[in-house]
Amino acid sequence: MAGAEQTQPVSPKLPQSVLFCCDQNAVRSPMAEGIMKKLYGHDVYVQSAGIRSDLDIDGFAIAVCAEIGVELDRHRTRSFEEMEKRGDEMSSFDMVVALTPASRAEAAKLTRFDHLELEYWPVTDPSGALAGDGREAKLEAYRKARDEIVAYLQSRWGAPEAI
């Protein structure tokens, strides 16, 4: 199924490689990458990218992932274009998981001739939520997005070995 898109769990079997994508690769997709590595180990090649990469990794994303033992401090944002320049072509992944509507559309366009799975997991954008409501309210918004990612991962591939 070239460019076939799934929205429901298909199989608990882990793919060999997964690319998570969002708009900036600064919040949701690096969180998903780090959490998947933590939950399912390094048997799966996991990367993340964004449509653009003009932001640094978000400090709130780093903080809420650290709460569950996921380290994002060294993450460097990258775009689809930068990813391909470094040799990680989208066609080399077994699965692409889009976390935003815009990245879903871009991934579908870029993979329309490739034989890989494209899934859409609409994770809440915590970066625009509750602006000005204080640090704790912002952290709660980021925790909600983190927990949505954990729920999608567990729904798709079963209970993890650790968290």
Q: Is residue 148 part of a domain?
A: yes
In this prediction, residue 127 has a pLDDT band, given cuts at 50, 70 and 90, of: confident
Tens of pLDDT, residues 28-66? 999 999 999 999 887 899 999 999 988 889 999 999 999
CATH number of 144's domain: 3.40.50.2300
Domain that holds residue 101: 15-157
Compute the C-alpha angle 150/5/52, nearest 5°.
70
Q: Is residue 94 part of a domain?
A: yes
Q: Is residue 3 part of a domain?
A: no
Tally of domains within the chain? 1
Q: Is residue 106 part of a domain?
A: yes
Q: Is residue 24 part of a domain?
A: yes
Tens of pLDDT, residues 94-104? 999 999 999 99
The Cα–Cα gap between 149 and 160 comes to: 13
Q: Is residue 43 part of a domain?
A: yes
